[in-house]
Amino acid sequence: MVSDALEMPQLRIYSNKMLYQRQRKSRDRTVENRQFQRSKRVFEEKTNKKKRNYMNKIGLALQGGGSHGAFAWGVLDRLLELEEKELGFDSICGTSAGAVNAVVMTYGLHIGGRMKAKELLERLWLTVASKGLKIDNPFIEYFTQVVSPYQFNPLNYNPLRKIVSDIVDFDELRKTKTKLFICATNVKTNQGKIFRTSAITLDSVMASTALPTFFQAVKIGEDFYWDGGYMGNPPLTPLIANSKITDLLLVKLNSINIDRVPMSAKDIGDRVTEICFNSSLMNEMKMIEMRNELIRGGLDLGKYGNKEIFVHSISGYDTLGKLDYSTKMKTDLGFLLKLKNAGRDAADRWIKEELKNVGKKSSFDVDKHFFNKF
């Protein structure tokens, strides 16, 4: 009995000790679980924030088209009225007039935000109207087919050089965080040259705009360049390969499909040029669509990504498709403002109807426009 009496307190002590240890372990597990859940929430919030930051950030692709670039001016003017959280620009590429628009817009964003970009784009096109070349005369167009710019323009005068240099400080531009790409065509190697932000100069912009019938090839280093439209109008691959974007917005100036067969010598020549300038874009669009189909089929492309690229487009076809090709050299103020207003209207429609699809799905039918699946 005495032995039993001695053991009972010891059993209670042992039992209490075990209970305390179990309770402590339970509290520790609860604390650990809370810490884990807290860490998980923080991680998810950071991840979701990054996703949200990229959900509305796009790659912007600007086609070239001479004076028809004023349509893109109108598009950009309207898009820049949106807030960053509504539509952000992660990267921008452009060719020819698209390169000029891209450089001026990116510089404006860098030094003063969206309103500054709008201001500088307006300054660019108003100056083009007052000081740009007036070469929309049919005789001049014929003249350039038989006389080389090395003959009729031996000093390689191009008023666009001063217009752009008066607006853009290229040393400052190269500090921008926006990824910028412009395209030119290497005359000797038949290769497209992509000038990236850190290498973009006034000469590379002039190279991208050097239409060979009007201007001499632009020398950069040991290479010579013509208008980038022959090799990428505009190039899309740099936008996909160098950023985390899931959406591309193409501001399209040139007609892909037309509803008539050209029969005059002039119309045939214009359509041939249009086809040449569209060929690289069509090939890149087809590659993007094939990539998307593989990903939808469950294939992980590894370093090439495992997310679809959603494609969007603001097209100038309804306005520009009705114009003669020679109007790409027309710089009258009234004409440029008409194109700008048409661009603003087209962008406004896209904002109302398609902006909601950014980050979710394509709003441009690549099959219809590039695979001819009507």
What are the pLDDT digits (tens) for 146-197? 788 888 888 888 999 999 999 999 999 999 999 999 999 999 999 999 999 9
Tens digit of each residue's pLDDT (9 = 90 or more) over 100-132: 999 999 999 999 999 999 999 999 999 999 987
Segment 260-288 shows an average pLDDT of: 84
Token pair, residue 208, equals 């991208």
Q: Which residues contact 254 (CB under 8 A, 6 or more apart)?
A: 63, 65, 233, 274, 277, 278, 320
Mean pLDDT within 221-232: 94
- What is the Cα 299 distance to its own chain's centre? 26
Look up the pTM and report it.
Answer: 0.82
Mean pLDDT of the chain: 84
Q: Which carries the bigger pLDDT value, residue 5 or residue 222? A: 222
Q: What is the pLDDT of residue 2?
A: 45
Tens digits of per-residue pLDDT, 31-54?
A: 566 665 665 555 455 544 444 444
Q: Which amino acid is at 214?
A: F
**Residue carrying structure tokens 């339970």:** 26
